[in-house]
Chain A
Amino acid sequence: MRCELHAEWTKLRTSPATGWLLLAVVAVTVVLSTATAALVTCPSSGCGHDATRISLTGVQVSQALVAVLAALTISSEHTTGMIRTSITAMPRRVRILAAKAIVLTGPTLAAGAIGVVGAVVAAGRLLPGNGFTSAHGYGPLSLADGSTLRAVAGSVLYLVLIALLSLGIATAVRDAATAIGVVLSLLYLVPIIALLISDPQWQRLLRQISPTNAGLTIQVTTDVSSLPISPWAGMGVLAGWTAAALLGGNLMLRRRDA
């Protein structure tokens, strides 16, 4: 497995798209979170906003970049035909997928951590100016606070799981455009459908099982008891999606002619 990891790491670091996409993950997470924090105001005591969640808004967009990066690591091989070279070099196909998953985790974790911590630090400087003050019931954002730490660490973990989910789906569907389309639909279309459904029972169910809705409950630090699913259970739902996608992708990779 060591040689497969080395090979996949060399592929990842010598692909020009990798560096740009990771940089974009950091930038988008920080900039969009900061912009949101700059726009939201808390004019009076008990305005009902979740300051931690506001400062992590950028994750909702940077997850798309993470998903694209992950999908490309395998679907660009299928599109170009390089997958045949990969399988010739590494005939035990499950090891290719496992190595890709492992080498993808490191950079995603690093970019996600820099982006998320950067977002909280930047937003934490702006929010007091917009009325998020102790007079209105808000302390300064701090990683020493248990629920904020959970939201921050959970957001990084969320991005890693989204990357692996996307890798699994892309392995199964192969074509780059199709893979990215399927992943982005799953990430963004399902939450929109949940918004449009009027029946509260169905809406609740959809929010419990959608990878984005369930996974992002990890960012919520206020009114946790009113969530359709608890933060770590929501992360568990996303992990379930990721595991299913990787298992499905592995099955397809092993079964099909390359």
Chain B
Amino acid sequence: MQATIEVNDLHKRFGSTVALDGMTFTVRPGRVTGFVGPNGAGKSTTMRVILGLDAAASGSALVGGRPYRTLRFPYRHVGALLDAAALQPSRSARHHLLWQAHSQGLGARRVDEVIDLVGLRQAARRKAGGYSLGMRQRLGVAAALLGDPPVLMLDEPFNGLDPEGIVWIRGLLRSLAAEGRAILVSSHLMSELQDVAGHIVVVGRGRVVADTSMADLIGQHATLEDAYLELTRDAVEFRGAS
């Protein structure tokens, strides 16, 4: 299976609001692709369409060449962290991973492996509802890694992590990409992506405004943050007076 995400000409509206307006890009293996854009630019909606959670009005989203909804054991193709809070708080973290493992034909041993991988062994039998946001992010990363997938898609994985956690996930993303996986990471933290991402897709108002290597993007601007602000200047919907 090729390790790619191919998004082609996605369109979607929520009522009168245009969420996706011809969103098109490809995530390639062996590198981390940063996915940035202002609030409401369509990042999360795109990820939800890729996962088959939301239906697009038109266009296609393929993972390893196939629509997500046709995958028999999707975690073995794509690992996704979309919303770290999408769990039932009264269930223990280990059991939260266990039912997901069972849904993919995997067992408890793999659950314990990913728990160790994300450093949650001490807390695995505690209720996930009592977890801090940072611990939930680790739990979400553990779920994403359950099926040892060639493609990973993480929405704001740095959110809520403490500095040690940020260093950890940065290293994890780099090593996963070095293993040849295709990784899409959305973030608001430009400085974090600058350290990790080899490629950047900048979106605004539901479409791609830049799709380029990190080196090229930085070459034209002082920092990624400058590049980002320049590119998305016309796409920002909410801005304070300056």
Contacts and interface: CB of A to CB of B under 8 A. Distances in A.
B88 A15 contact: yes
Nearest to A79: B88
B103 A87 contact: no
Interface of B: 48, 51-55, 68-71, 73-75, 80, 82-83, 85-92, 95, 98-100, 102-105, 143
Contacts of A87: 51-53
Interface stretch (A2-10, A28-36, A141-149): A2-10
A89 B104 contact: yes
Interface residues of A, number: 28
A91 B103 contact: no
A90 B53 CA distance: 11
Contact of A257 (B54, B68, B92, B100): B54
A88 B51 contact: yes
Interface residue SS majority, chain B: loop
A7 B69 contact: no
Contact of B52 (A4, A11, A14, A91): A91
Contacts of A80: 85-89
A96 B104 CA distance: 13
A222 B91 CA distance: 47
Contact of A82 (B73, B75, B88, B92): B88
B51 to A, nearest CB: 5
A84 interface: yes
A97 to B, nearest CB: 14
Contacts of B83: 81, 84
A99 to B, nearest CB: 9
Contacts of A14: 91-92, 95, 98-99
Nearest to A2: B105
Interface string A1-45: 001101111110011110000000000000000000000000000
